[in-house]
Structure 1
């Protein structure tokens, strides 16, 4: 009779590898599924959403001021 570690090692090598392969293929298929192109385009355009107008002066000043420490 084999010890528990060897049995778990055999299961992890065979079924664990198969499980990880199926999860990997599932993620790839979920990403490339039909109908997801619009979602991916929308996400890719996030950095360029507000490119048509410059930032306001108040936004720039707020970013340059040092942050206050939460604990005192």
Structure 2
């Protein structure tokens, strides 16, 4: 039972912080300047006829 309590305590504190940091990082990565052109280029790849 001590292992469960330790893992739960970690998830409640540092795990939540890690998920929040990852979420903010993902938002920054998606909304950074210049990413629209890269996303548009990637979206057209399946439609290109080579």
The whole-number CA distance in structure 2 between the counterparts of 1:47 and 1:19 is 34
Mark the CA change 1:47 to 1:4 in structure 2 (over 3 Å): closer, same or farther: closer
* Structure 1 spans left out of the alignment, 5+ residues: 54-72
Larger radius of gyration: 1
Runs (4+) of structure 1 moved beyond 4 Å? none
- 2:35 equivalent to 1:23: no
TM-score, normalising length: structure 2: 0.72
Listed as ranges, the matches of 1:60-71 within 5 Å are: none
- Give CA deviations for 1:10-33 in whole Å, capped at 9, x if unaligned: 121111011111112211210111
Structure having greater relative contact order (Cα 8 Å, sep ≥ 6): 2
What is the aligned length? 49
The structure richer in helix per residue is: 2
* Structure 2 spans left out of the alignment, 5+ residues: none
